[in-house]
Structure formats: C-alpha cells, structure tokens
A and B are shown apart, each in its own frame.
Chain A
Amino acid sequence: MSPRGYLGDLEEIVLLAVARCEPEAYGMRIRQEIEDRSGRSVAIGAVYAVLERLEDKHYIRRVEPPQGTNRDPRARRFFGITPAGKTAVEETAALRDRLWSGLRLRRGGKTS
C-alpha cells in the first residue's frame, strides 16, 4: 500500500491477531488472542473500532464464517487479512527493522 499506510500501534497488533486467528478471526477471539500473547487486556469495543478502521483501509475484509458455525447474521463477523494488509504489516515490520539496525540500546528500553 501507499507509504502513508504505516500502521498504528494497536492496528498492527489487531492486524497480526487477525492473521493468527484466521479462519476463526472474530471480535472476541481476536481480543483473547491479544490478551494471551501480550498479557495486555483490551476492551472488546476497542477491538471492533480498530477492525472497522482496518476494514476501511482495505487491510482486512469480511469473510464467510467457517463451516459449522452459527449463521445468525447478528452474531460473529469473521475477518481475513487482505494482500494489502499483509504488505502493510510487512512494511511496518521492515520500517522497524530499518530503525533498529545499527542501534544498540539497553534491553528493557521503551519499545513495544
């Protein structure tokens, strides 16, 4: 995607969580994944707000629920990462790598 497509903090985390959870990536599952991996508790509303933003940026898209899940349209919305989304995560990671390269900081410094 375009260079302005660098991801925000939480955006990157949610996008990676979507990629990890696929094809079971829905709101609460994603929230749980983040909590499990980062030990950070995230509110469900925040997850949805970020999902919405990512969808608007075409980094994720709505996908059919996996076979055998509840088809109630009101219930879970499943997401999948798009090629643009993959590029965006990769570019963000690459940016971070470029910024890190040659840098020697004490471990435990302010990174995420």
Chain B
Amino acid sequence: MRRLARLILRGVLPGDVRETIVADLDAEFDRRRGSTGWYVRQVAGSIAPALVMRTRRLARAAADAAQDARFGVRLLVRQKTFTIASVLTLALGIGANTCIFSLVDRVLLRPLPYAESSRLLRIWSANPRGIPRGAIAPADFFDWREQSRSFESLAAYTDTDVTLTSAGEPVQLPAAQATANLTATLGVSPMIGRWFAPAETVGEGQPVVVLGERLWRSRFGGVPMIEGRTIVIDGIPRGVVGVMPDAFAFPSRDARLWLPLPDKWRSQTRSARFLAAVGRLAPGVTLDAAAAELRPIARRLESAFPDTNRGYGVTVASLTDAVVGDVRRPLLVLLAASLAMLLIACANVSGLMLARGAARTRELAIRAAVGASASRLLRQQFVEAMLIAVLGGAAAVLAAAWGIGVLRASLTVDVPFLDRVSMDGRVLAGAAAITVICAIVSGLFPAWRASRQPGSEALGGGSRTTRGHVRVRQAIVVTQIAVATALACGALLLARSLERLTSVPAGFAADRTLLADVSLPARRYKPDTRAAFFDRALDRLRAMPDMQAAGAGGPLPLSGQEGLLRFGVTQDRRTDPERAYVRWATPGYFAAMGIAQRAGRAFSAADRADSVPVAVIDEELARRLFGQEDPVGRRIQLSMNRAVWREVVGVVGAVHQTSLDRPAEPHAYLPETQLASTALTIVARSGGDPASVAAVLRRAVADIDPELALSNVRTLADLAAGSTRPQRQNTLLLGVFATAAVLLTLIGVYGVIAQIVAQSARELGVRLALGASGRSIVALTVRRALVMALIGVAAGSLVAAVAAPALRSMLYGIGPRDPLTFGLVIAILLASAAVAAYVPARRILRLDVLATLRVE
C-alpha cells in the first residue's frame, strides 16, 4: 500500500522536486514510525498541489517561449537581409523536397487504388529467350486458372484499339478486352450499371461494352440513362451495360472502354501470346506459394504441348511491383538528391546564423552575465531557427503547390498515378516534418555554439572567440562542397548518359515527318480493298507540292507498340531460325521513315497479293541469317506461315524497336498487300508544314471512307523523343537539384570568405601596413578557400564513388564511376569556389589600413 502510494506520488510530482519530496516524506515516516494511513493521507493530499506545481511549470515554459518568439521576431525584422536570405534558401530546399515527396508518397508509399491491393499479383509467361515478363497464350491462361488453387480469382485482359462510329466523328480509341472477373479481382465497382457477366464472354462473346467515365462524359454527355443504349464499335452494334469510374484506369489510364474477352480464344494456338493476367491471392496464400503452385502447372503444359510451350515458364510479381517497379529507383534517386540539396540549404542557413552569432557574441555574453541560463540561450537560438524554418516552410508550400503543377504537366506519361499527385494533407504533413528537420539541422548547431560562449572573453571584445565561428563555418562549407560534388557527379553522369543515348542512331530520320494511325475494320476491308485504301490515301498525300515520300507501315520503331511478337525466320540453306520482329510496309514506307536502303529494292506497286511473295529484311537480320552472303534473291520462311517461302528483294538499315539503350533488333518487313495487318501508321515526309499535311490526310480519309478515324496524329520527332522521355526527365530534375546545390554551396564559400575578411580586417590591416602587398594577401585568402574546396571535392568524390553504382540501371554507355565525369565536376567546383572566394577577398585591396587600425 505504501509502495503503491509512493509510486503515485512519484507519478504526479514534477521531476525537479520529485526526489526531494519523496525522500523528505520517507525520512519523516521512518523517524516517527508512522502509520501507513498517515503516509497515504500525505500522498493523497499532495496530488492536487503536485498538479498545481506542474501547471505552473508549463505556464512558465510557455511564457518563456513566447518571450523567445517575440524577441526572435524583432530580431528577424531588424535583420532583413539575413531573414530574407535564410527564408528563401530554406524555401528552395523545403519546396523541392515537398514536390518530390508528393511524388514518392503517391507512387511508392500509398497502396494501389484497389481493395486489399497487397493480395493482387501480375502473372506473365516467362519466355525461354530470357524475357521473364512476356504475354500469355489464352489457352495457357485458362489452364492456369483451372488448375491453380492459390487464387481467389485470376483475370486476363489485353489491349486493343477500336473505332467508335456511332457518337459524333468516327474516333479510334484505346480499349481493352477483359474476362468477366476482372473487376471482382481488382475489387472495383462500376459507377453505373454493371461489368460483364460470365455468360457474356462465352464463345464469341456477347455484343456488349463497358464505357470509361471519361468517354461517357465526353462522347455521351454523361447522361445517366446510358445503360442499354447501343453504340457501334468496329462496325458492330454493342449494348452499353455499365460505366467504370475514371479511377479504375486499368490496364492503363488510356483505356476508354472495355469489351468481353471471348472464351473461344482458348482454341487458338498456344504460340499466339497476347494476354496479361492479374490475380487476387486466396486468403493466407503468399506470393511465393502461388508461384510455386503455378510452376509445375507450366511444366505440365510444356510436356503436353512441347511444340508451343517448350521452355515457357511463369513469372509472378506483386501488382504494385509491376505498376511502380520501373519508377522506384529513379524516384528514390531524386528523393536522395533533393534531400542532399536540403542539407546544403540548411548548412547555408546554419552558416548565416553562425556569422550572425559571431556578431552577436557580445549580446549573448551580456544576457549570460545577467543570469540567462545556457539552456535558455540555446532555446532562444533554437526558437529563432524555428521561426526562419517556419517562414521558409510556408513559402515552400506555396512554391511546391506551383511545382507540383509543373511536375504533373511535364511528367504525364511515365509515372503511374501522376494525375493524382496533389498538395494534400499528407504532403502538407510531410512539408511540416521537413520544416522541423530543417530547423533542427540548421539551428541546433549554431544554438549550441552560441550557448557556450565564454562570457568574460566575449565581453572583453576580443576577436579570439570569433575564430571558433570561422572554423565551424569552414567545416560546414567543406561538408557542403562534398555533398554538392557527389550530387553534381550523379547529375552529370545522367546527363552524359542521356547525351550518349540520344546520339545513338535510331535507324530512321526523325525530321519533318508526320505520323497518323489508321485502323481498317476487318469486317468491311478485305486484303484487296485495304491495298486500294492505302493507294488512294497515299496518292492524295504524294500529290502535295512539298511531299517527299509517303507510305504506311508498322508497328513503328520506338512506338512502344510491339505488335505481334517475334517470329522465327529461316533461310533456304539452313534450318535453325533467328527470331525477328515482323513488320508491314507499303511502297514508300522506307523512304518516308528515312530508313536507309542498303541493297536491292524497296516494295513497289508490283508486289501484289498474287505476285511472288517477297520480303525486305534489315541489316541486323541479314547479318544473323546470311552472315557475309548477299541475301538479295535468296528465300526466307517465317514461322507464322510456314507454307510460304519469300524472296528477299532488299536489305534496309537496322532500327531500334524497343528502346535506344538496347541494341537494334532484327526485323523482317512484309508488303501489306501480301499479309493483311489490322492497323498501320501512315508516314508522310514533307518539306512543308506538318499541320497542313495532317489536314490533307484527314480530308483524304474522310473522302475515301467517312467511317474511318485517324488517331495518334504526331510527328516522328515526337515519337523518337518520347522514347528517351524518362531519361530526360530524370536528368532534368537531378540537374536542377545539382545546380541549386552547387549555387548554394558557392554562396556558402562566398559567405565564409567574406566573414574571414571582415573579421581579420585588423590583422590584414597590420600586414598591409607592414608592407605586404594586397595581391599576395588576396591570393592567400583565395588559397584558404581552395584548401576547403579540395578537402570537400575529395570527400564528395569518395561519396559519389560509393553511391553512384546505385545509378547503374539508369545509365547508358557510361560507367557509374566515369573518371572524366568526376574530373569535370571536380574542376568545375574548384574553379567556381575560387571565383566565389576571390570576389569577397578582393575587398582586402580596398581596405583602409589606417581606419582599421584606428578602430582599436
């Protein structure tokens, strides 16, 4: 009982008097050998006074803080230059970090917008040629679904393009075909109506369609009575059964409508792989367990269908990983870079506060002398740092709101969920946290430094104490230079990598060329009418005065559309096939694309459906298939139709299909007249304005077939630039951070040299009076800065050498420890540090020797 009472007493008493009172009470209890009842009454009676004591302490602390804040505000108002410089520096750092944090938070930290998204997986066919994430054959998918037990549900889908003709102008739209269980798998509900029923995917599939919210609003006015309405897609009337909310965005944000994925695809050959699959794990099943269950199923399919499935395995990853995996590394690198910049910004403010602290030495010493405790002085300094950080943070939030808008506008395509990045509560909380960190990082050191001022010395007015300040500032500047060096190395590595990447010849000439996709509905267009359509449309283009070449073909290199996957190609004198992309081309395609003709001829009007089957191959396939031999006149066979041997009539230059950072892949081109394609891209190379070419093309297509839609009208240059977009974005952002970091560092160098010059004015004055030349003293001062810079760049290069391999996956054609890059950064930083030091050091030359000496 007594022990419990003592415990309670200890709990309620404020810390500074706790031991005294408890000891006092215990001593009295022992002395009078008192009763436990007395003890308990003493404790009970002490509870209320103890709380009163605590309240008094809180009130006192609040009053102190308010006083500190008032004092701090007065000081900040008085020292406007210092305040503005510090606030702007922190605003820059906090603002940049808030922007990047808003991205990181939305893309990496939050779960996907699907119910219990941690249970969602993506599943791929693992290709025997080392492509672990390949498309799946419908038959394989249905077998996996039936034979596995790990999934609550397993859904499949595939991208497609459709033409909508019944609502206004014909328009080509990105769409998807999906199984009936896709929405249940993802845990998403339609906003209107329903998703497909399983019965609607049986056999050919029923003529139904689910609209996306955006299409529903833009083409159908957002009317709620949309269910049951019939719309015409690819010439087929389909009944609308539901509308999916915009947030669904599956398989991508582009999908405007969804069609049922017909079960009859199951009867297609297993070599046609074009499905993607997403699964929801059954409760309690792990990703590894699901993968372990699927693997033997894939092996059974391998032995059952060796012709099509030999070597094909299965790859499983979380849906989160599949969606954001590609951007994780770049985002983390940007986050690290923005934090490094923040560190430098804080260091600058720290330096400014130290310089001010040196000037305030006297004031602080007086306050200490009249009884302000060290902790009180420390708190005073810290409150000032907090005030600056809060002002900086407020400015930063405004800047970040603008910056997030800029990021959203400029990054659009490559970052998932970018359109949902916004300045919300979480981002504000993040900004607040960054602000507090800033206050601590930039304020605590100067505060500690200032609070241990040796009072008497400072009052004596000597300059010795300020020496310490300078030394601390020098250390801070060295750190800044090191961080800036590391950051600049990273940024320059990315820039040089980008330069190498963009100088890779793409294999085509991107200038002054217009592209437009056109898709001819298979129901109305037979092979001969297709050729006639392209002839007429291209002739209209060729009649334009500036037109140099026009053709159609595809899927285009670097377009991101892989189209049909690669096929085996063999030649007449060997049996083992080479894998090559098969592409379509009409006459004029190679000339319009600027793909070089290396040997033989391009396709011509003479290559018709009933003439000799022909093919053009690129130099990459020619090298692999024929080595040194001349391919022109030889024959090749494609695994997609083995009955036909095609004569190679020409060899063209190689192009990069997937991206510039991978080697050019082998290609075989077929004339569109001899093998029909569902969709082609019209390519028009003209000396004139692309907009007028587009107008002529639109008119021509409308004249030939009013129900057709052109889509994706763009230039070849846009397409080529799009392929390096992520790299350019990363380089730009990292470059901005590095530039800001270097500039802030140079300001730091300038500041510390200016302080040295100002504070050693007397010493320098004596030297000048004794006959030292001003120039030699300037040189000496600049050399001090260079010594700091040398230590800084050495440390920074070390850091960069250790950290840069993290960038490896983002680099092309350059090592993460490229010596030239490092050398360049070191040279730039040393040179600019020398300049930043020289400017304030020159003041020595203007020093009035007599005046400085007279001050004493």
The interface of chain A, by Cβ under 8 A from chain B, is 26-28, 31-32, 41-46, 48-50, 52-53, 56, 74-77
Q: Once the chains are docked, how many angstroms separate the CA of A75 from the CA of B56?
A: 22
Instruction: Give the residue of A26, A43, A74, A75 whose beta carbon is less than 8 angstroms from that of B42.
Output: A43
B20 touches A28 (CB 8 A): no
B20 touches A74 (CB 8 A): yes
- A31 proximity list for chain B (CB < 8 A): 28
A45 touches B13 (CB 8 A): yes
Closest-by-CB residue of B relative to A74 is B19
B20 touches A77 (CB 8 A): yes
Which residues of B (3-37) have their CB < 8 Å from a CB of A?
A: 9, 13, 17, 19-21, 23-25, 27-28
Check if B49 is an interface residue, CB within 8 A of chain A: yes
A52 touches B56 (CB 8 A): yes
A48 touches B19 (CB 8 A): no
Instruction: Give the residue of A26, A28, A49 whose beta carbon is less than 8 angstroms from that of B52.
Output: A49
Q: A28-B27, A28-B28, A48-B53 are known contacts. Are A43 and B21 too (CB-CB below 8 A)? A: no
Range, interface on chain B: 20 to 34
- A27 proximity list for chain B (CB < 8 A): 20-21, 24
Check if B47 is an interface residue, CB within 8 A of chain A: yes
Q: Once the chains are docked, how many angstroms separate the CA of A52 from the CA of B60?
A: 13
Q: A28-B27, A28-B28 are known contacts. Are A44 and B21 too (CB-CB below 8 A)? A: yes
Q: Once the chains are docked, how many angstroms separate the CA of A31 from the CA of B50?
A: 16
Known: A43-B43, A44-B42, A53-B56. 16 other contacts (CB 8 A): A27-B20, A28-B25, A28-B28, A41-B45, A42-B45, A43-B44, A43-B49, A45-B13, A45-B43, A45-B49, A45-B53, A46-B46, A48-B21, A48-B46, A49-B53, A52-B56
Closest-by-CB residue of A relative to B47 is A45
A54, chain B: closest CB distance, angstroms: 13
Instruction: Give the residue of B23, B41, B45, B46 whose beta carbon is less than 8 angstroms from that of A74.
Output: B23
- A44 proximity list for chain B (CB < 8 A): 21, 24-25, 28, 42, 45-46
A45 touches B27 (CB 8 A): no
B23, chain A: closest CB distance, angstroms: 5
B29, chain A: closest CB distance, angstroms: 10
10 A/B residue pairs, CB under 8 Å, sorted by A = A27-B20, A28-B27, A28-B28, A41-B41, A44-B24, A46-B45, A46-B48, A48-B21, A52-B56, A76-B24
- B13 proximity list for chain A (CB < 8 A): 45
Q: A74-B19, A76-B20 are known contacts. Are A46 and B25 too (CB-CB below 8 A)? A: no
Dominant secondary structure at the B interface: helix
The interface of chain B, by Cβ under 8 A from chain A, is 9, 13, 17, 19-21, 23-25, 27-28, 41-50, 52-53, 56
- A46 proximity list for chain B (CB < 8 A): 45-46, 48-49
- A43 proximity list for chain B (CB < 8 A): 41-46, 49
A33, chain B: closest CB distance, angstroms: 13
Would you list the 9 A-B pairs with minimal beta carbon distance, nearest first? A45-B46, A43-B45, A49-B49, A45-B49, A46-B49, A43-B46, A28-B28, A74-B19, A28-B24
Closest-by-CB residue of B relative to A56 is B56
Q: Once the chains are docked, how many angstroms separate the CA of A77 from the CA of B47?
A: 20
- A41 proximity list for chain B (CB < 8 A): 41, 45
A71, chain B: closest CB distance, angstroms: 13
- B17 proximity list for chain A (CB < 8 A): 48, 52
B30, chain A: closest CB distance, angstroms: 11
Q: Once the chains are docked, how many angstroms separate the CA of A52 from the CA of B59?
A: 14
Closest-by-CB residue of B relative to A46 is B49
- B45 proximity list for chain A (CB < 8 A): 41-46
Most buried by B among A44, A53, A74: A44
Closest-by-CB residue of B relative to A45 is B46
Q: Once the chains are docked, how many angstroms separate the CA of A50 from the CA of B53?
A: 9
B50 touches A49 (CB 8 A): yes
B404, chain A: closest CB distance, angstroms: 51
- B23 proximity list for chain A (CB < 8 A): 74-76
Closest-by-CB residue of A relative to B38 is A41
Most buried by B among A27, A31, A49, A75: A49
A45 touches B21 (CB 8 A): yes
Closest-by-CB residue of A relative to B25 is A44
Q: Once the chains are docked, how many angstroms separate the CA of A50 from the CA of B56?
A: 12
- B21 proximity list for chain A (CB < 8 A): 27, 44-45, 48
Q: Once the chains are docked, how many angstroms separate the CA of A32 from the CA of B9?
A: 19
- A75 proximity list for chain B (CB < 8 A): 20, 23-24, 27
B594, chain A: closest CB distance, angstroms: 88
Closest-by-CB residue of B relative to A41 is B41
Q: Once the chains are docked, how many angstroms separate the CA of A41 from the CA of B42?
A: 9
- A28 proximity list for chain B (CB < 8 A): 24-25, 27-28
B24 touches A45 (CB 8 A): no
Q: Once the chains are docked, how many angstroms separate the CA of A31 from the CA of B29?
A: 13
- A50 proximity list for chain B (CB < 8 A): 49
Q: Once the chains are docked, how many angstroms separate the CA of A74 from the CA of B15?
A: 12
Q: Once the chains are docked, how many angstroms separate the CA of A50 from the CA of B28?
A: 19
- B9 proximity list for chain A (CB < 8 A): 45
Closest-by-CB residue of A relative to B28 is A28
Closest-by-CB residue of A relative to B32 is A32
Q: Once the chains are docked, how many angstroms separate the CA of A9 from the CA of B56?
A: 19
A43, chain B: closest CB distance, angstroms: 3
Q: Once the chains are docked, how many angstroms separate the CA of A77 from the CA of B720?
A: 83
- A42 proximity list for chain B (CB < 8 A): 45
Q: Once the chains are docked, how many angstroms separate the CA of A5 from the CA of B777?
A: 65
Q: Once the chains are docked, how many angstroms separate the CA of A41 from the CA of B35?
A: 15
- B53 proximity list for chain A (CB < 8 A): 45, 48-49, 52
Closest-by-CB residue of A relative to B57 is A52
Q: Once the chains are docked, how many angstroms separate the CA of A28 from the CA of B26?
A: 10
- B56 proximity list for chain A (CB < 8 A): 52-53, 56
Q: Once the chains are docked, how many angstroms separate the CA of A41 from the CA of B44?
A: 12
Q: Once the chains are docked, how many angstroms separate the CA of A75 from the CA of B24?
A: 7
B50 touches A45 (CB 8 A): yes
Closest-by-CB residue of A relative to B31 is A28
- B19 proximity list for chain A (CB < 8 A): 74
Q: Once the chains are docked, how many angstroms separate the CA of A31 from the CA of B44?
A: 15
B18, chain A: closest CB distance, angstroms: 10
Closest-by-CB residue of B relative to A51 is B17
Q: Once the chains are docked, how many angstroms separate the CA of A98 from the CA of B27?
A: 42
Closest-by-CB residue of B relative to A43 is B45
Q: Once the chains are docked, how many angstroms separate the CA of A46 from the CA of B20?
A: 14
Closest-by-CB residue of B relative to A50 is B49
A35, chain B: closest CB distance, angstroms: 11
B828, chain A: closest CB distance, angstroms: 59
A18, chain B: closest CB distance, angstroms: 15
B42, chain A: closest CB distance, angstroms: 5
Most buried by B among A26, A27, A75, A76: A27
Q: Once the chains are docked, how many angstroms separate the CA of A52 from the CA of B46?
A: 14
- B49 proximity list for chain A (CB < 8 A): 43, 45-46, 48-50
Q: Once the chains are docked, how many angstroms separate the CA of A77 from the CA of B27?
A: 14
- B27 proximity list for chain A (CB < 8 A): 28, 75
Q: Once the chains are docked, how many angstroms separate the CA of A53 from the CA of B49?
A: 11
Q: Once the chains are docked, how many angstroms separate the CA of A41 from the CA of B46?
A: 12
Closest-by-CB residue of A relative to B12 is A45
- B41 proximity list for chain A (CB < 8 A): 41, 43
Closest-by-CB residue of B relative to A47 is B49
B35, chain A: closest CB distance, angstroms: 13
Most buried by A among B19, B20, B25, B41: B20
Q: Once the chains are docked, how many angstroms separate the CA of A44 from the CA of B6?
A: 13
Closest-by-CB residue of A relative to B21 is A48
- A32 proximity list for chain B (CB < 8 A): 28
Closest-by-CB residue of A relative to B45 is A43
B552, chain A: closest CB distance, angstroms: 92
B44, chain A: closest CB distance, angstroms: 7
Q: Once the chains are docked, how many angstroms separate the CA of A10 from the CA of B638?
A: 106
Q: Once the chains are docked, how many angstroms separate the CA of A31 from the CA of B25?
A: 10
B49, chain A: closest CB distance, angstroms: 4
B758, chain A: closest CB distance, angstroms: 44
A49, chain B: closest CB distance, angstroms: 4
B50 touches A26 (CB 8 A): no
- B52 proximity list for chain A (CB < 8 A): 49
B24 touches A26 (CB 8 A): yes
Q: Once the chains are docked, how many angstroms separate the CA of A48 from the CA of B9?
A: 13
